[in-house]
Amino acid sequence: MQDEFSRRVSQFRNEQMQQFSGQINGQFNSKNEFRNEFTHSTAAVKQSIEITLAYQVRNTKPALSIGESKLINKGEFVTVIGAPGSGKSNLIEDLMAGFICHVTNTPYPHSLVDFHYPAATADSRGLFIDFERPLDDVACSLGRTLKRVSINESLIRNNRFRNVEVRSMLELETAEQKRSEIRLLLTESLKQGAPFDYLILDGCLDLTTDMNDSKDAVLVVRWIRKLASEFNLAIICTLHPNKNTTTAAGHFGSFLHRYSRAFLLLQMMEQADGMRQLTSDFDMGKLSHSHLPVEQYFKWDARHHFFVSAAQPQVSKNGNTIKLKEVIHQVFTRQMSTQIPSADFKRLLLEVSAQNESKVKRLISEAVEFGYIRLEGERNTGMYYLTSSTD
């Protein structure tokens, strides 16, 4: 690591010297003066690079992945946004169930989402904190989690099963009290020699006093980042979007998006009999560690009385499978033109296909890929043209 550290520092110094070489005459009296000033400022750079390299060595395995898509390392956090009724509680229970199976090396036949925990070991522990439900309901959630993996819920002791513990913050009145209680739980576990490795903050908006107060939003997001780093945690946050949108709520949601390593959307697909979709393919979608998109589906299983994973549904309208070429042709026919501004094209395709926004974005990408339409300009401000391949 020391060789790599020295190489990185040397490379940084050379790049900066070249970058500023043309500005020396205007800012410094001599090249030596510039070198002296630059040398004094390098201490912080060295420390930053050293911390970065140590972090990279410490986190050689991802803390959480979905399929082949890496979400986060320890020391980072991922955010999932979803409206009430979208299936967040089921997703969290699936996340805990998969974690229990991973650390106990037991099979998990009824997963919702293809979660993986490469960094977790047999000693890893998880803490689930719910801000919206009373403790009795949260304890029932742990019971349902065990049911998913065929473990008797009578084995739960003090809201804990082996390496998973659940807590409710509903009765604490202020955001500051909730943050203090969480820090206390993490500190005590560290003192007892059994630190938590995974932390779920379900409904983390309650950590703020006002989601539209930018100063408070910055404070709380910094607090989450510090918590992840200080306790070497992989943190999973959930948050409601703005009503009837797929955008995160308030200044808090915006800052959470900025610093999350992954930002996913959970939604119910009304056109697919209530199937749920977890995706990175939406306007705020984000995967800092992976170029592979997240696209997972789950549906209710009446036989088992819980949600299970499902295959991607066919794109259909009125019970008929959509032929993409025909849909594209309908859009241009409705507009009576062979060219449509991108914003209007997206709106018309939403109407014609009767699909959700995320699916329509994929349909547009496929139409371009297959040569049915051509885009000139930027995706949000350009123009789509009908091509001869749809004739």
Summarize pLDDT for 215-251 with one digit per residue, the tens.
999 999 999 999 999 999 999 999 999 988 889 988 9
Q: Give the HSE-up count for residue 258: Cα atoms under 13 Å, Cβ half-sphere.
A: 11
Assess whether pLDDT exceeds 60 at residue 315: no
Most confidently predicted of 254-258, 277-281, 361-365: 254-258
Give 58's pLDDT tier (boundaries 50, 70, 90): low
**Of the listed ranges 148-162, 215-229, 238-252, 375-389, the one predicted with least confidence:** 375-389
Residues 205 and 211: beta-carbon distance below 8 Å:
yes
Domains of the chain and CATH, by start: 2-58 (no CATH), 64-310 (3.40.50.300), 316-390 (1.10.10.10)
Please report the pLDDT score of residue 178 as a whole number.
97
CA distance 112 to 202: 18
Residues 323 and 363: beta-carbon distance below 8 Å:
no
Average pLDDT over residues 194-206: 96
CA distance 172 to 170: 6
CA distance 320 to 105: 43
Side chain identity at residue 283, one-letter code? D
Whole-number mean pLDDT of the chain? 84
**H-helix or E-strand containing 302?**
none
**H-helix or E-strand containing 168?**
strand 164-168
Backbone angles phi and psi of 241, in degrees to 5: -85, 170
CA distance 11 to 222: 30
Of 79, 78, 82, 80, nearest to 241 by C-alpha is 82
CA distance 307 to 160: 23
Does the pTM surpass 0.85? The reply is no
Terminal Cα-to-Cα distance of the chain (whole angstroms): 60
Assess whether pLDDT exceeds 50 at residue 24: no
Please report the pLDDT score of residue 143 as a whole number.
94
